[in-house]
Homo-oligomer: A and B are copies of this chain.
């Protein structure tokens, strides 16, 4: 009948700010940099997100992640009530880092067509290195994953459709092209991760991306 001493339900953060003071140990301090510091819930969430990228949602396993963090389950069950709470934290982290942050960056560019090209370039480069989204798409059966996917998809498709609208397409057509662009991005990510040699590499890569955008902007 003993519950976890701190659950993630109360949204306040343990210390003052994220990635706070180290609270390092006395004698074991001074390692090579990844040394023995006390962990925060955010450290666990980041590690869980990395694990999703490498092995899918099934890789969010407490004991292996604890090993990778150089700690034990005792730490985990202090910060989280159970494995599900860790999954929730990882998903929330993903929503913030991989959608809002990217849109903020792209918004710095004033010209809509350059925003679109910049977004494609960024997305193409980022997705090639990180199989995270592929893993998440594959776990849409999990309700919490599905909810996060729905929010992220709405936000992204809406943003891209807005770009096409800003480029002069009527609303319905802008929505269609935005959806086509986003599905092409998703498929591109899949291929880049599963069969990278099927995608144009080297100098062909930029030419291919330009050609895709030209096709998507083509008025016929």
Contact = CB atoms under 8 A, between A and B. Distances in A.
Interface in A142-166: 146, 149-150, 153-154, 157
Interface of A, helix, strand, loop or mixed by DSSP: helix
Interface residues of A, number: 49
A1 interface: no
Contacts of A176: 200, 208, 211-212
A140 interface: yes
The residue in A146, A150, A214, A215 that gathers the most chain B C-beta atoms within 10 A of its C-beta is A215
A79 interface: no
Contacts of A131: 140-141
A180 interface: yes
Contacts of A211: 173, 176
B194 A146 contact: yes
Interface string A176-207: 11011011111110110111011110000000
A4 interface: no
Contacts of A218: 215, 218-220
Given A186-B187, A187-B185, A190-B186, A215 B180 contact: yes
A187 B212 CA distance: 15
Contacts of A215: 177, 180, 215-216, 218, 220
A187 B183 CA distance: 4
A113 to B, nearest CB: 14
B184 A180 contact: yes
A180 B212 contact: yes
12 contacts: A56-B138, A137-B193, A154-B195, A154-B198, A173-B211, A183-B184, A183-B186, A183-B190, A186-B187, A186-B190, A215-B216, A220-B220
